[in-house]
Structure 1
């Protein structure tokens, strides 16, 4: 499992991105929900006003005065009157308070009309506006929305038709809408947070893979440079303590420095290839000569026997040399001090030791990165490089038991 300050920082960034995504979604949904709630409230109020206003206007046109007498016969058969929740006809005071000439209400209405003070307010509004007015007035302990339309007697307002409706049902539907919007917005915010967390995790994967590659590169660089640096130190110390050996030590130090330079070049090339900033440049080369030169440059190659035949492949010389060094050094280090045989045939580099071998179940696993152990083939870091180089060249790397004991570590490459 990944760990470390850089990974922890990326995880914090991921959670911050998730929270930002969720917060942005919540703000947008809140704005839309508030807009929807306000629009719904206005729409329901307008619908209620339109309904009572339409009834009041229609009924006011059916009523008329004849010789100063208000005729209410049309109320008995007009659908607008029969289906009205609350209906009243108020006559003008002459003088005094407004007089109720007609009143009706649905059975559920406890008190069909406002009290006398409410009727006075409605009448004064009608007289002042001289057209249909809308206002809220209490009736039976409930707030009722009223529309009052004037009935003209000549050039004066002789009466008014009042139509009322209880907004409770509309308000209850509005409350249900608010609750559904709240639940829906909460669910959408949670879904947005989940999606944001998933997307941010996917966006972080390249960065996490980059961290893995960086850690692996550092481990491989240390693995590659450790042996030549230790050898260089030993050579320098030997030349410094023995003046007679100084010229030879200097020559050996120069050779090791050259080898270190090639190692660093190979490491940088591998890092660029893995990062995708550089392509592998495959050129025709003599595989047998490359193997012979690579083994010859090893500091401890006295126990290594090389047999080759002329083979030409397309490859990167630095990367292939690095893979060969890893195979041979692993065999020398973990072969139990036994001789190491290196052979080159058509498309095959085989390194054999005579050690105890590797269990069958571990022969694939040891090629994985970060797999370590004291097997006859060495550590997973070195063999992971071998497999990586083989795959870059269109080949494979494998382990197999050798006849008579020991192990073959093979690098298989396509031939020209």
Structure 2
């Protein structure tokens, strides 16, 4: 998108610069032609033939048009040959060659008006010339030739091209930078949406992997023995119910994160929710729960996911030690007696996509998100006597 934005801007600037260059070139040519034509016409009107048929140039030295001319010559008809130079400024050597003068003379005789030509002077430099006729009764007896060097105008035109090139390059760079910023802002919501979808899929896989594996084991265990089939069926039904609650919680979390649904916080018994969640674990025997009646405002499905992730994380990384769960008025504490978590990893393990020795998948990231959604915090510290102590701290419930 940045390249497309810059390319489009460059194309538009190129078209505008081309138009500007051509317009400037045409304008400068017209200005130069108008200047030499005006000077040649003005001087031609000041010259005249007297009664004896002599071309009078008396007023020429005093004429401002003549004195300010860059190149000036008076050509007069000669009965025996081509046009003769009557006067030349700054010198005859600056005038075109004799052949070029003859062509200019013939063109004036043919058109019988001021003509414009570009030809080289004797020194090789190109000049723009205006030749205006001087009438001797009914015929053209002389021609006023005024020349100007277009080099100055061409140099100014070249400077304009250089400035336009630099300006266009700067504008293209500015447009590319602006396009990069705008495209980044435009793409950021889409990228965030894709990242949320990827994160949701990872969390869904994390949440569903354990109950699905347990369900498979239960079904295989029950199908291998008719005597165990009724118990396996009951256990499978319980796991299906648990999967249903997990899916409901996942969908609720996805809607909340996408902003399409607000979290519904309702009064609930936190101690009962924790005990029910632990009873649904595949192996709750190694978990000890100590609780007191606690009422909080929360989302039961999301809180259940957070509790489940805290306990499963302790069981997985506690080195096979017992896990203690404590429910108090300030929240939930889950501790084990394993190796614990290094101090440098106690904050980042709650971040999403954590990898390495302290990796816990997405489980603790979900805990941190649920805590934040409920106005609380998630912490990791060292348990008394060694091990890890994970806390889900919730704000006190407001009365009413």
- Asked if these proteins are the same fold (TM beyond 0.5), I'd say yes
The 5 Å alignment of 1:380-391 reads 380-391=361-372
Moved more, 71-80 or 213-222: 213-222
Of residues 35, 50, 62 in structure 1, which corresponds to 2:19?
A: 35
The 5 Å alignment of 1:1-400 reads 17-67=1-51, 68-94=53-79, 96-105=81-90, 111-140=93-122, 141-372=124-355, 379-400=360-381
Q: Deviations over 1:24-62 (max 9, x none)?
A: 222112211211211121121112112211211221222
Q: Deviations over 1:308-361 (max 9, x none)?
A: 233332222111110010011111222222222222222411112222322222
Aligned 8 A contact 1:393 1:413 in 2: yes
SS of the aligned residue for 2:215 comes to helix
Aligned 8 A contact 2:206 2:361 in 1: no
* CA apart distance, 1:401: 2.3
Task: Indicate the residue corresponding to 2:394 in structure 1.
Answer: 413
* CA apart distance, 1:260: 0.6
Moved more, 246-255 or 309-318: 309-318
Alpha-carbon distance in structure 1 between the residues aligned to 2:193 and 2:93: 78
Moved more, 181-190 or 58-67: 181-190
Alpha-carbon distance in structure 2 between the residues aligned to 1:93 and 1:373: 105
Task: Indicate the residue corresponding to 1:12 in structure 2.
Answer: none
* CA apart distance, 1:93: 4.1
* CA apart distance, 1:285: 2.2
* Structure 1 alignment gaps of length 5 or more: 1-16
Task: Indicate the residue corresponding to 1:403 in structure 2.
Answer: 384
Q: Deviations over 1:130-151 (max 9, x none)?
A: 3322122332123221112222
Counting matched residue pairs gives 395
Aligned 8 A contact 2:223 2:229 in 1: yes
* CA apart distance, 1:101: 1.6
SS of the aligned residue for 2:285 comes to coil
Aligned 8 A contact 1:368 1:380 in 2: no
SS of the aligned residue for 2:141 comes to strand
SS of the aligned residue for 2:284 comes to coil
Tell me the TM-score normalized by structure 1.
0.87
* Structure 2 alignment gaps of length 5 or more: none
